[in-house]
Structure 1
């Protein structure tokens, strides 16, 4: 057979025993939660399905998800009995089987797997590392090795700790498969995908450039997603820090209404950011178990303005609740975090001149200024960064929803937010919002600071 043109994608057959996570692996590598069907039931995949991995507008790799080899022992016995006396090698035996009537009959499912592997450049042999090495696995290894196609064993589900990884590596070595990669399709490590493609580049030397290109593209995509995520969080924080609303001091009902209105606006604004972060990482609210977040249906179990939320997150409330109370504005718990008044309750009024004089005059007219306190800003930063950490560590083949641990860098609010405090026109929650270069540069500075915090936190966790 003639070699394919250099521009053709490298074809990889994803093979292995039933229910080892083959479809989950393809979903995670393609970031496509809709690919195939993932189920704990064996034999979910019944047909060969293909999908391409793109980089720089080019299809570099073509993955083919295959059914599980459900009865490799009996198939191996059948092939040995039919062609064992012939002096032919493994690939010739596999080809004779594929040309036989049995390949379209009783062994049709297994024939789909072997035919796809025989016509591919290489194969991912996906192994559930939690399973012990049994006779059926050894028969499977013998059949796949007989196809004479380069195989890269992929040890799946390795992050739970209770695995037979060492036994599997020994069994693979007995079949000459000394190079393997640990890749958990549910929760891949950050550099696991790069290691996978680099191993393929070693296995298929003539295609090394394609895999190097794919590694570089995935690294850029990761950095772009993280940059977009921290920019979205920075926009949210600037909007909340800058918002300031003038409200009447009396009657009390009017003040309560204003407090509730700003609280609802803050919740909805954060909910939009949560929605954007989920979409950016190609997930939705069903993938995240985070009752503390304002998810898309508008429900939350642990409200942003509940002091318990701050306590659980380890955010100091001294400057918020006490400040609000000092301003004589302790209408209810929420009012402690939506400050009413001047001085400590509002934070320092940076700047001066005409703006500051107008604020003083507004208070003199028995009106107050309503703003969001620092503890709330710190909590918003902390839990949205925790969401980013969760999404970056979650594979698209994972089942169910992942619990958000809240294990994000504790945020000491960057000083750039003080500038936002003195520029209410920077807030998209205000009627006087005006896009400005100074606002955008402050958002960028804050986004960089958030990125640095994520990187430093990742370094500590390793």
Structure 2
């Protein structure tokens, strides 16, 4: 149980934390990121978008562990501090008593109505996060805010927001806070959080609330487990779509194959099937990370405005992917699609001599074909996806998963294209592409819900290779 606090009104043992600060400092943005609730409150560049105290919870095992109170901005802190300094001075009242007296007076319902909402909540909670826009210069209004919050006799944890921004004045703020006795400070960025920033936030809060250390450690462990679970799910989603793409094939007759326009249409239709599968995986990654396809802040994602459609089958992108995959420049007629002889579901290569093709089959194992080999040399062509295309898809989806993992739920800016360019990914992704090759002989693996033991093992292997690539780095 948390220690009793005079005036506390939390109906259970959830830790109550007020989120306070100047207007437009990023309080609601911080809470969206901490709770992964992208639609909580209103986030805008307009000042004063939070006008009332709003509540959001962080739950563990279905029970609230932390209860955050998003408060209005402190709009006229200088005038309020002047008022508090004069109020009760003759009676020798201490600072908390002056705050309580102010809340009982007419000013709390008049010119300082918004500030009164903040101070009233400050007296009810266990601690406060004081959110600071570190891009702003330190002004008298900020110094007054610090004095007012300290007057409430509650532990205050300054959260220096937007510290990644080049305009951040981090050193100035750190000096001012330390001069006011607020030595425990947290650097944060609600738009693009640092790796482990949430855990550090709660660890530092525990120094101000030693009686709540065990609870806050539990919160940190819970956050780590949830993040790990999201990365596990993302790696399995990417592995699944790579299996489905490797298994994807469509037959075309000799007449269609021989006529250039008809063949081009067949290839375009086949490419569209691949795009649909990839977009479905991208939407899955959004859902895993708590975003939504129709989220206005993510409305211009690459696969929604055609950039991925163009890049996915762009000849130069495929040639580069082929080189990174170790295939040289010869890639599936530069369209990412190969028209192969249909032989038991295996790709023989349209230009291969029959003897060479048979040798390739033998090297891959007769059991994949069984006794149907000779009966299936029918001359029907099958469209399949080139390995360079699989490599490029893996690059793009790994890039997207990484970006979403690092994207705060308050981000307003357009997400850039998700293709990962790190050359260190080449070797592990080559192994991923190799791991999904068994799907080449299993066209039934294209369908969702294919639940054979063999498919699960192959997906597990590919996911295990992908999983380390999704670990955060800073």
TM-score normalised to structure 1 length: 0.88
Q: Distance in 2 between matches of 1:46 and 1:193?
A: 26
Matches within 5 A, 1:228-267: 228-251=233-256, 252=259, 255-267=263-275
For the pair 1:420 / 2:439, whether they are aligned, the reply is yes
Q: Distance in 1 between matches of 2:418 and 2:166?
A: 19
Q: 1:40 offset after TM fit, Å?
A: 1.1
Structure 2 match to 1:328: none
Q: Distance in 1 between matches of 2:59 and 2:450?
A: 39
The C-alpha deviation readout for 1:214-258, integer Å capped at 9, x for no partner, is 111111111111111110110000111122333212232654443
Structure 1 match to 2:382: 369
Q: Report the CA distance shift for 1:359/1:239 in structure 2 as closer, same or farther (over 3 A).
A: farther
Structure 2 match to 1:454: 470
Q: 1:82 offset after TM fit, Å?
A: 3.0
Q: 1:361 offset after TM fit, Å?
A: 4.4
Select the residue among 110, 113, 134 that pairs with 2:118: 113
Select the residue among 254, 266, 278 that pairs with 2:286: 278
Structure 1 match to 2:162: 157
Q: Report the CA distance shift for 1:56/1:288 in structure 2 as closer, same or farther (over 3 A).
A: same
Q: 1:299 offset after TM fit, Å?
A: 7.9
The C-alpha deviation readout for 1:368-395, integer Å capped at 9, x for no partner, is 2221110100000000010000100011
Q: Distance in 2 between matches of 1:72 and 1:117?
A: 15
Structure 2 match to 1:441: 457
Q: 1:452 offset after TM fit, Å?
A: 2.0
Select the residue among 285, 294, 309 that pairs with 2:303: 294
Q: Report the CA distance shift for 1:247/1:149 in structure 2 as closer, same or farther (over 3 A).
A: same
Q: 1:312 offset after TM fit, Å?
A: 6.9
The C-alpha deviation readout for 1:141-175, integer Å capped at 9, x for no partner, is 11111111000000000112332111111111122
Q: Report the CA distance shift for 1:82/1:324 in structure 2 as closer, same or farther (over 3 A).
A: closer
Q: 1:315 offset after TM fit, Å?
A: 5.4
SS at match of 1:322: coil
Q: Distance in 2 between matches of 1:37 and 1:290?
A: 20
Matches within 5 A, 1:207-226: 207-226=212-231
Q: 1:96 offset after TM fit, Å?
A: 0.7
For the pair 1:13 / 2:18, whether they are aligned, the reply is yes
Q: 1:353 offset after TM fit, Å?
A: 4.4
Q: Report the CA distance shift for 1:184/1:358 in structure 2 as closer, same or farther (over 3 A).
A: same
Structure 2 match to 1:330: none
Q: Distance in 2 between matches of 1:269 and 1:301?
A: 12
SS at match of 2:284: helix
Q: Distance in 2 between matches of 1:393 and 1:226?
A: 12
Q: Distance in 2 between matches of 1:94 and 1:36?
A: 27
Tell whether the 8 Å contact from 2:322 to 2:328 is kept in structure 1 after alignment.
no
SS at match of 2:29: helix
The C-alpha deviation readout for 1:116-153, integer Å capped at 9, x for no partner, is 11111100000111111111111111111111100000
Structure 2 unpaired stretches of 5+: 342-346
Matches within 5 A, 1:331-350: 333-334=334-335, 337-341=337-341, 342-343=347-348, 349=361, 350=364
The count of corresponding residues between Structure 1 and Structure 2 is 444
Q: Report the CA distance shift for 1:242/1:354 in structure 2 as closer, same or farther (over 3 A).
A: closer
Structure 2 match to 1:166: 171
Tell whether the 8 Å contact from 1:274 to 1:384 is kept in structure 2 after alignment.
yes
Q: Report the CA distance shift for 1:387/1:113 in structure 2 as closer, same or farther (over 3 A).
A: same
SS at match of 1:52: strand
Q: 1:29 offset after TM fit, Å?
A: 0.7
Q: Distance in 1 between matches of 2:324 and 2:143?
A: 58
Q: 1:400 offset after TM fit, Å?
A: 2.7
For the pair 1:388 / 2:401, whether they are aligned, the reply is yes
Q: Report the CA distance shift for 1:366/1:311 in structure 2 as closer, same or farther (over 3 A).
A: closer
Matches within 5 A, 1:173-184: 173-184=178-189
